Amino acid sequence: MDFREKVAVVTGASSGIGRATALTLAHAGATVVATARREALLRQVTESCREYAKDSDYRVGDIGEKDFAEGLIAQTLEQFGRIDILVNNAAMPMHRPIYNISAHDAEDVMRTNFLSCLWTSFAAIPHMLLQGDAGKGSGYIVNVSSFAAIVPPTHESVYAASKGAMSSFTRGLWNDLAGSGIHCVLVIPGPIDTEIWDKVDDQNAYRGKLFPAQLVADEIVSAIEQRRCEVTVPRRNPQLAAARLLSVLLPSVVRKGVAKMNPVTATMRDDARERARAGLGLGE
């Protein structure tokens, strides 16, 4: 596939998977619009993208804000006249037992991880419908979800919910956009070596292998090229395959397994009870 005429928006491009994806798309020739909140990092990514795709640019802002998410698409269209690839990748982690998450915290996660992808997609689809040969529609929406949406670990209920919503939305888009010329890709990363693991405020118990972010970026580009609908990264991984199968066949075994790996302890419950007695809500 020739990416040289393509314009790609990549959210969460300042680090990790988003950064690797922005650079890989630019290397393939696409003009990249990179977005995130940390400007210094975005500037570096964009400078590297420009070595391959000279018109690449960046936008700084909070993707969990509807105006910014919609403005990102509007400004990209204003600047380049088209948007061919939209990679919804930005996300915040939330690794805490439910007792320690407030409704406000949960809403932040849903806005950043799920609603952002809804807002950018709603803004981009009308334009994608008019692109392509004789205005018959063309574009790619790539949503980076998580394996946590398939097997939610303990302490991850809200993060998993945000990714579950994203996965279902993407699968729904496949159905509704069939025949439109717009192709959707659902990306389901397993454990990937990025800074997201350092951002959790409650220590994560996972001690297994972490795979390089470049693996996900390469799978994203090849899924676009091959018009694949869903890709789990790493592919054909025995642990992920076993967890997926067991979660369907023996969900109670999986539930016990994740609870053992990272327990929600009696102390956590007792603390929450104390706070409830004091009239406090979850996460207060």
Ligand X SMILES: NC(=O)c1ccc[n+]([C@@H]2O[C@H](COP(=O)([O-])OP(=O)(O)OC[C@H]3O[C@@H](n4cnc5c(N)ncnc54)[C@H](OP(=O)(O)O)[C@@H]3O)[C@@H](O)[C@H]2O)c1
Instruction: Return the active site residues.
Output: 159
By CB under 6 A, residue 152 contacts ligand X:
no
The smaller minimum CB distance to ligand X, of residues 106 and 192, is found at: 192
Per-residue string for binding with ligand X, 27-66, x by CB under 6 A? ---------xxx-----------------------xxx--
Kindly identify the residues of this chain, within the stretch 208-237, that bind ligand X according to CB under 6 A: 213
Q: How far is the CB of 266 from ligand X (least distance, A)?
A: 29
CA dihedral defined by 110, 145, 101, 197, rounded to 10 degrees? -130
Q: List the one residue from 137, 139, 153, 189 that touches ligand X (CB under 6 A).
A: 189
By CB under 6 A, residue 139 contacts ligand X:
no
Cβ atoms 145, 169 nearer than 8 A:
no
Q: List the one residue from 15, 56, 121, 204 that touches ligand X (CB under 6 A).
A: 15
Does 234 sit behind a cis peptide bond, omega within 30 degrees of 0 on the bond before it? yes
By CB under 6 A, residue 192 contacts ligand X:
yes
Cβ atoms 49, 29 nearer than 8 A:
no
By CB under 6 A, residue 100 contacts ligand X:
no
The smaller minimum CB distance to ligand X, of residues 111 and 138, is found at: 111
Q: List the one residue from 9, 109, 144, 272 that touches ligand X (CB under 6 A).
A: 144
Q: Which residues, other chains included, contact 115 with Cβ-Cβ below 8 Å and sequence gap of 6+?
A: 64, 66, 69
The number of residues that bind ligand X (CB under 6 A) is 29
Q: List the one residue from 10, 91, 161, 240 that touches ligand X (CB under 6 A).
A: 91
Cβ atoms 265, 169 nearer than 8 A:
no
The smaller minimum CB distance to ligand X, of residues 119 and 272, is found at: 119
Instruction: By CB under 6 A, name the binding residues for ligand X.
Output: 12-18, 36-38, 62-64, 89-92, 112, 144, 146-147, 189, 191-192, 194-196, 199, 213
